[in-house]
Amino acid sequence: MSDRALRAAAAVLAFVGLGIASYLTYSHYADVVVACTTGGCETVLRSHYAKIGGVPIALFGAITYLVILCLQFVRSELAGLAAAAISVAALVFALYLIVIQVAVLEALCQWCLTSDAILVLLSACTVARAVRLLRVTSAPSPAS
């Protein structure tokens, strides 16, 4: 996959993730019940695990997706590495939250799990791009 295709795929994924995280952030601050087919969304979203320092995790997620989205428009090695690092860190945190949903809350949030699936794909795209960027910059230059 080309660099452009990886950036485009990551941008689309980050945009969709931003939409989900924004919806969850809005529902928190507007105090509305989210649409949910699993029956566990409110249990998860109203738990004390859904906030850090009183701020909903969804807001942190929205900011994370926005930063990753913006980084897709920067054609530099540093931007590519930053996007990969941020997406992998977010994925690790998401895996922790899945464990909380399953083992502690015994409830699943379809929005959270969708966001988690997006993070898996987003991490794959950004890491693939970072690896490609590192290979290009570390490749020996042709002899003159």
Range of the domain at 43: 3-137
Radius of gyration over every alpha carbon of the chain, rounded to an integer in angstroms: 17
Classify residue 79: in a domain, yes or no.
yes
Number of domain units in the chain: 1
Given this model, what pLDDT does residue 136 score? 73
The predicted model gives 122-137 an average pLDDT of 91
Question: Which residues 6+ apart lie within 8 Å of 120 measured at CB?
Answer: 91
Of the pLDDT bands very low, low, confident and very high (cuts 50, 70, 90), residue 38 is confident
Mean pLDDT of the 62-88 span: 96
Residue 142, pLDDT score: 63
The verdict on residue 46 lying in a domain is yes
Model's pTM, two decimal places?
A: 0.92
Q: Is residue 78 part of a domain?
A: yes
Confirm whether 124 is domain-assigned: yes
Q: What is the pLDDT of residue 89?
A: 98
**Domain CATH for 95:** 1.20.1440.130
Q: Is residue 143 part of a domain?
A: no
The reply to whether 10 falls in a domain is yes
